[in-house]
A and B are shown apart, each in its own frame.
Chain A
Amino acid sequence: AQKVTQAQTEISVVEKEDVTLDCVYETRDTTYYLFWYKQPPSGELVFLIRRNSFDEQNEISGRYSWNFQKSTSSFNFTITASQVVDSAVYFCALRNIIQGAQKLVFGQGTRLTINP
């Protein structure tokens, strides 16, 4: 069975601080995808990043960076110099690569509040 755990339910920091959101996953599949989504108060899930299980290169996009470590089954997300607009609920998700079975398994989410 697949499972995603986001142990941090809520995080609150002051603007300009760096913050890391943790994600740990379980799967018996050898190939899979990992995702991060952002859910602002409007409710729509906004795609941030997708990684393949065979590509462990870390990625940076502006103030966002992702650390994928297969050895520890973790896919952590760091926001550098946080801004108030980063306030949202963030979800980590897992999906296998088998054709046809495409459901996303989500973690419980981490509510991030950036205070001015």
Chain B
Amino acid sequence: EAGVAQSPRYKIIEKRQSVAFWCNPISGHATLYWYQQILGQGPKLLIQFQNNGVVDDSQLPKDRFSAERLKGVDSTLKIQPAKLEDSAVYLCASSRGVQQYFGPGTRLTVL
């Protein structure tokens, strides 16, 4: 069974630019999560989708972050415009039951 796929693996941008990350969950997993992991900290949930509907986006900075999951499969997370403090690893996870399976993450550096 293929795992959670994410791309790109690394991205370097300058502040005020925009960036997008892509996630392909494990086949059949209805729930998809985006987490932000700042260096030296644990991951923090940004948004949770159930199929293509949002379940929890309470910690998503909606003035600059947006996410969508069209057709209930792949998802895209966008940042526009990026700030220095957005430098982090963005982890995508998916689940069918209790267990969440994580992708390799996208490491974003904002200069």
Please list the residues of chain A having a beta carbon within 8 angstroms of any beta carbon in chain B.
4, 33, 37, 42-45, 47, 50, 91, 93, 95, 100-104, 106-109
Q: Which of B41, B55, B95, B99 contacts A101 (CB 8 A)?
A: B55
Against A, the Cβ 8 Å flags (1 = close, 0 = not) of B38-57 are 00111111001010000110
Interface size class of B (residues with CB under 8 A): 20 to 34
Residue of A nearest to B46 (CB): A103
Residues of B within 8 A of A103 (CB): 33, 45, 48, 56
Given the interface pairs A44-B102, A44-B105, A101-B56, the reply to whether A107 lies near B50 with Cβ below 8 Å is: no
Q: Are B104 and A50 in contact (CB under 8 A)?
A: no
Q: Are B55 and A45 in contact (CB under 8 A)?
A: no
| Smallest beta-carbon distance B82→chain A, Å | 20
Query: Which residue of A is nearest B42, CB measured?
Result: A106
Inter-chain contact B41/A104, CB cutoff 8 Å = no
Instruction: Please pick, from A45, A91, A102, A106, the residue contacting B31 in the complex, using a CB distance under 8 A.
Output: A102
In terms of DSSP, what is the predominant structure of the interface of chain A? Answer: loop
CB contacts between A and B, total, < 8 Å: 54
A100 to B58, CA, bound (A): 14
Task: Indicate if the CB atoms of B104 and A43 lie closer than 8 Å.
Answer: yes
Question: With A100-B50, A103-B48, A103-B56 as given contacts, are A45 and B43 in contact (CB-CB < 8 Å)?
Answer: yes
Q: Which residues from 23 to 75 on chain B have a C-beta closer than 8 Å to any C-beta of chain A?
A: 31, 33, 35, 40-45, 48, 50, 55-56
Q: Are A106 and B44 in contact (CB under 8 A)?
A: yes
Chain B residue contacts of A104, Cβ below 8 A: 35, 43, 45, 100
Q: Which residues of chain B have C-beta atoms less than 8 A from A43's C-beta?
A: 89, 104-105, 107
Contact of B107 with A108 in the complex, beta carbons under 8 Å: no
Max count, chain B CB within 10 A of own CB: residue among A91, A102, A109: A102
Interface residue? B79 (CB, 8 A):
no
* Complex alpha-carbon distance, A91 and B50, angstroms: 25
Considering the complex of A and B, which 5 residue pairs feature the smallest CB-CB distances, nearest first?
A106-B42, A45-B102, A103-B45, A44-B104, A43-B105
Measured between alpha carbons, how far is A44 from B41 in the docked complex, in Å? 14
